[in-house]
Structure 1
Amino acid sequence: MLPIALALLAGAIGVGLWTILSSADEKATVRASLRQLDGYEVDNVRDQELLKPMRERTVQPLTDRLVALGKRFTPDGYTDKVRARLTASGNTSADAVDRFIAIKVVAFALTPLMFILFFGVLGIGGKMGLLLSGVMAAVLIFGPDATLNRRVEERQHEIKQKLPDVLDLLVISVEAGLGFEQALDRTVSSVPGALTQEFARMLGEVRAGASRANAMRAMEKRTDVPELRSFVLAILQADTFGVSIGRVLRAQADEMRIKRRQMAQEKAQKAPVKMMIPMVFCVFPALFVVVIGPAIINIRNSF
């Protein structure tokens, strides 16, 4: 009953905080609207601070302190690695790194509470309590990094899967008479996904004044996908030596399609090996119980 009561208490606290924050945001919105009216001015410093949203007045200072504490104890280069992984996962927000570091600090702070929860509150002692506490502590410590790495892998896999189809559309558009950037623009508007988002960002950098070579190199560095790196190098070489873009795109599309087929065949060949462990530890014991169990019972009863 105690875990259920704790869960209900935590849920009630969460609902209460959400209600308070929602009502505070609504009041801040009303104050901001009134402030835009003619003749409505706020002279009091307290009222001026209350015009800010609740999250900006309470959550943001706490987040800043957690980020400062986390950066003090993180090793050199960790922040840059986190920023690179967040960019590869598609999260280009300016404060994404700060939020991630704040989550890591909170996770480390909650780690000792897991031992207090299992040994003191729930009363689970011995090896079982130590095992559960260790598992929960490992989840809290390594969970954010594992989740971020998983998102990066999923996005990179999506880019690999979409690249041959996008190249086919580029080949059709270029051979129809469009330029390379116009073909990219048409493909971005027709095919949604992570790859076209990167192409759209690359086109935006080109239109902002960057050279196409630098924008494509930046895109390849952000995604860190070998297939996309091969495509970027082929396009840059075509621009350097004056080779036809349509011919290069067709060759790249054929190559990427072959790589995608090889990747599918590789996964199919790995499937029997991966299925061996659950079959040995899950399927075979149940099968042995069903098949050999009655024979063992009959032999035991005969003696």
Structure 2
Amino acid sequence: MIHIDSPVVRDLALVLLLCGGLLLALIWPRGSRRRIAHRTRRTVLRAMPQQLSRNEDQAAGLLQPLLRSFASLGEHVPVGGQAQRNELRAQLVRAGFRERRAISMMIGLKLLVGALLALAAIVAGPYVPRIGEYFVFRALMMGASFIVGMILPEIALGVLVSRRQRTISSYLPDALDLLVICTNAGNSLAVGVKRVARELRTICPPLADEFTVTGDELQIGSDSALALRNLSDRIGLPSVRALVSTLIQSQQYGTPITHSLRMLSRAERTAQMMALEEKAAKLATKMTMPMMLFILPTVGLIAAGPAVIRLIAVFK
């Protein structure tokens, strides 16, 4: 039995409401059609964030027991030394995972993936031809699979960190321009950072999240240099380190930061344009091998094919 408060009924009601509004927009006169379309759109847009938040809460409720299991597994089975754990914690922070038990969850995930791959190696080992019947080979295969399974989550974490840093780097000049506007308007650094975070929430959530944390630290803590250095450590980009150094020096010596931020923004855009030009210059070299493997044989067949067929017919 389907309850009225179930997500299926709510989604069906939203779809029926939208379809009914479109149908009335086609039938009724133009003025009424426009009013009904606007009213329907406002109703759907008001209902969509609530529905999305409910779906996110349900997904988070389902993932919480699994994450707790990973965390407990990582806490009971210590893997690696303190230096390795610190490096893994820094990678998790740069990927956007700042939870207290994130490192325990990551270690639990590594152990789980390694155990699954080792189990798969044990199951598939006897079916390897010629050498699958030897126990030593199956043991080596199981150990290698476990090691690979321990490494795979770190590789995936590195990919997440690189993708997040590329996203932050691409939107950092826009954030600097917005910060220049805020400082020119007379806002303090904490207020300007939080305002820029609100403006970037829709186009670059990772950078907005980092700026929000930094704005909170600037408003709550007394040491602004420490909060800015924490921003640099969380992101790990040279451009962000340059931004943090500029802001710290301007606070220490009392110099205006507007000109420095504008120069940093211009330098970031120039660096991005140079990177794009470098990729465009490498494109011709990268296209040589695919053209030789796929395009050139096809052109040769089209050009020489009729002549070859005619020669075969003549010599026959």
> Could you list the runs of 5+ residues in structure 1 that have no partner in the other structure?
1-52
Q: What residue number does 1:270 align with?
A: 282
* Inter-partner Cα distance in structure 1 for 2:81 and 2:297: 47
| Deviates most, 56-65 or 181-190 | 56-65
> Which of 198, 217, 220 is 2:210 aligned to?
198
Aligned-pair identity (%): 25
Match of 1:68 in 2: 76
Q: 1:55 to 1:260 in 2, by over 3 A?
A: closer
Kindly report which structure 2 residues correspond to 1:142-221, keeping only aligned pairs within 5 A, or say none.
142-192=151-201, 193-221=205-233
The two structures, once aligned, show a CA RMSD in angstroms of 3.4
Following superposition, the deviation at residue 238 of structure 1 comes to 1.4
Structure 1 residues 198 and 269 mapped into 2: Cα distance closer, same or farther (>3 Å)? same
With the length of structure 1 as denominator, give the TM-score of the two structures.
Answer: 0.67
- Is the 8 Å Cα contact of residues 115 and 149 (structure 2) preserved in structure 1? no
Which residue identity is paired with 1:180? L
SS in 1 for 2:221: coil
Deviations 1:81-129 (A, max 9, x none): 1111110011111222111111111222223333344454xx56469xx
Letter in 2 for 1:260: Q
- Give how far 1:272 is off: 3.0
Return the offset for 1:181. 2.2
Query: CA, structure 1 residues 144+247, in 2 after alignment: closer, same or farther (shift >3 Å)?
Result: same
Q: Distance in 1 between matches of 2:266 and 2:281?
A: 23
Within the candidate set 94, 98, 120, 2:104 is matched to: 98
Question: Which residue does 2:36 correspond to in 1?
Answer: none
Tell whether the 8 Å contact from 1:118 to 1:125 is kept in structure 2 after alignment.
no
Q: Does 1:245 align with 2:267?
A: no
Q: Counterpart of 2:287 in 1: which secondary structure?
A: helix
Verify the 8 A CA contact 2:183 2:192 in the aligned structure 1: yes
Relative to 1, partners in 2 of residues 1:83 and 1:285: Cα closer, same or farther, differing over 3 Å?
Answer: farther
Q: 1:65: Cα distance to partner?
A: 3.7
Which one-letter code corresponds to 1:68 in the other structure? H
Closer/same/farther in 2, CA of residues 55 and 248 from structure 1, 3 Å limit:
closer
Q: Give the distance between the partners of 2:67 and 2:165, measured in 1 at CA.
A: 33
Structure-1 separation of matches of 2:213 and 2:148: 35
Of 77, 83, 89, which residue of structure 2 is paired with 1:83? 89
Higher relative contact order (CA 8 A, sep 6+): 1
Task: Check the 8 A contact 2:197/2:209 in 1, yes or no.
Answer: yes
Contact conserved, 2:71 with 2:108, CA < 8 A, in 1? yes
- SS of equivalent to 2:231: helix
The count of corresponding residues between Structure 1 and Structure 2 is: 242
CA distance in 2: counterparts of 1:296 and 1:143, whole angstroms:
52
Give 2:89's aligned amino acid: R
Query: Is the alpha carbon distance of 1:84 and 1:285 closer, same or farther for their aligned partners in structure 2, counting shifts above 3 Å?
Result: farther
Q: For residues 206 and 242 of structure 2, what CA distance do their matches in structure 1 show?
A: 18
Distance in 2 between the 1:195 and 1:98 partners?
25
- The residue type paired with residue 243 of structure 1 is T
**Matches of 1:298 and 1:76, distance apart in 2:** 75
Superposition deviation, residue 241 in structure 1? 1.9
Q: CA deviation at 1:291?
A: 5.2
3-state DSSP class of the match of 1:243?
coil
Structure 1 residue 230 and structure 2 residue 245: aligned?
Answer: no
1:44 match: none
Q: What is the rounded CA distance, in whole Å, between the counterparts of 2:62 and 2:254 in structure 1?
A: 58
In 2, Cα distance between equivalents of 1:282 and 1:86: 42
- Give TM-score scaled by structure 2 length: 0.65
Q: Distance in 1 between matches of 2:264 and 2:295?
A: 44
- Which residue identity does 2:256 align to in structure 1? S
